[in-house]
Amino acid sequence: MTQLEGKKIKMGQIFHEENVVPVTFVKLAEKPDFDIEIGAKVKVSGLSKGRGFQGVVKRYNFRGSPKSHGTKHTLRTGGSIGATGPQRVLPGQKMPGRMGNTKVNLKNLEIAGYEKDQGLLLIKGALPGAKGSKVSIFIK
């Protein structure tokens, strides 16, 4: 498996057999010494966009409390975090915290094109991270 480093430039689209194909443009850090074959499957790793400190409604899609019938200030709270029996919070409890900025691996993405003179690699679909973020591409 060969690893290439690149920088995510932008999202775009190309026309292939009368269909519109969404692609991500990746500027390679250095030009590879082998031929990149269009249609080859690749694995891509990168950091997802960081969302900062988020509550349970945005982080885990909790529903929140009802808007009426006695609810005052607890519309977006997580509710109970466990019984009083264990005398502690059990591990794995979903609570507010930092969201995003984690490593994401995408497998079996397809190479849609390669512009050798500019060093641009076109990968079908979306890649993790913001524009300008670094991604690692593993070619099988």
- The predicted-structure confidence for 14-55, as pLDDT tens digits, reads as follows 998 889 999 999 999 999 989 999 999 999 999 999 999 999
- The predicted-structure confidence for 93-107, as pLDDT tens digits, reads as follows 999 999 999 999 999
Please tell me the pTM assigned to this model. 0.84
Q: How confident is the model over 62-88, as a mean pLDDT?
A: 93
Please return the burial class of 38, using the count of CB atoms within 10 Å of its CB with bins 0-12, 13-18 and 19+: exposed
98 bridge partner residues: 53
Is the pLDDT confidence value at 138 over 90?
yes
Neighbours of 43 (CB within 10 A): 16
Q: Rg of the Cα trace of the chain?
A: 22
Characterise 39 by phi-psi region: left (phi > 0), alpha (psi -120 to 50), beta (else): left
**Domain ranges, ordered by start, for the chain:** 2-50+99-139
Q: What is the DSSP letter of 51?
A: -
Place of tokens 């010494």: 33
Homologous superfamily (CATH) of 2-50+99-139 is: Translation factors (2.40.30.10)
Angle value at C-alpha 41, between 40 and 47, nearest 5 degrees: 130
For 65, residues 6+ apart whose C-beta sits below 8 A from its C-beta are 71, 74, 75, 76, 77, 79
Neighbours of 36 (CB within 10 A): 18
